Structure 1
């Protein structure tokens, strides 16, 4: 068990290193100069451009820039934002709670309604209700989140002024962004839960329990749902990454604070330190979540062990 944990932790560290290097190099390939973006109308002063590039360390070789950034990162220093003129750590601290709030509500909605639709479809397999439920799930998966967000704003914030239009971080202002982020995941979860529940219902011990005369509800809760929980847990863990990437679009559409919107603004401003920090945080959150899910497997099913 300890060797497995050590192996997974090493894999997370290796992933973080690979992501940091890849993002660092890709950012330098994007056309444009952050110094020119920062100076604006003063970019015509070559002496000022050269001096600022030197102050930011952008005149150094790429490998030196990466080593310097990585060394500062190990000390807990994410660098200084070019666009916001303050430490990147302050930007992350200011925006991360709003994204966590959005993620928690979206994950709760997608898991709850995905489970409900998937179970309804599985119990009514090959019936009209199954077909209707899976059609709804497929439709939810197919709707682009940016279009859905604009449609929800138009319907429930403009035509029917029930919610805040943009920028809200209160519960009332979070419902529409969370719903936009969760609807696609609801469809995906419903289809996956349906398959997992149907597979569990076909197990021999479930058929035996039914033959013994146990009620359908008891068989379902004690045998079917318990055996279907592991694959469902897997997809919920993987969904964290999808929701994190979805915040980039949703927070931008709703003009809502968060690391997704911060990432978009930082890319447009050529803010290298902020972009590198946000992407690294997202990658680590995704890897850590899946590590936690793997550690929960033996807790839910003692037959599973990590070696």
Structure 2
């Protein structure tokens, strides 16, 4: 018993101490396990969030790349369209220039330099009625009826390339034996359609303008292409009449038509030639087989 009591006294404290230490260790172990679990959960959450964030970044980057590619593609398409448009414009201008040069060459070949001003040319043609010319010069109001044909007008110096009754000057209407800036009025009826467009633009209108005094009047009556085309389209104007007016009766060498005008087109030609105050007092007026309009302008 003594040995038992001695052993108890010796070993019980150590046992109790060991038991308390195990409990503390167990408690510490449990706490450590909880902390480890919390750390693991935090790590898993962080990993999950990181994965989601990475996916979001990948998605955003992909979207940005697609947007950038789309914008770049649109920019490239816009640049390409702009380039094509510039190229088309350059080619169009080049063709316009080529056409302009071609027409200039053809005009020079056709008219032998007649595009130059003729104010220094020597008078040509033949004056038949000098007294009438002198009379009008003394009155200070010289009036020419050019291309009069068989219809000379009173009060005018009648000019035609043919020596017909009533003609006062036999001459080409582009080479009349009168001085520049000496005519107060030039009138023509159904004359201008007998000349090609470029000759009217480059030779005749500038030449007639040079004959007029400053403020002198130019008047013309020509077939009204606008009215005739409208009538032909509506079926109210006979085709044969239209054809004859369009191409001329062709009874003699000078009776061929090479041109057609509308009030607007002839107004433009007059303005280009240096005329102002262009007016069209009459248009669409019936005259035999054609419709005609009258136009007048003043030398600027």
TM range (shorter): under 0.3
Instruction: Choose between structure 1 and 2: higher strand proportion.
Output: 2
Instruction: Choose between structure 1 and 2: higher helix proportion.
Output: 1
Q: Which is bigger in relative contact order (C-alpha 8 A, separation at least 6)?
A: 1
TM-score, normalization: structure 1?
A: 0.22
Larger radius of gyration: 2
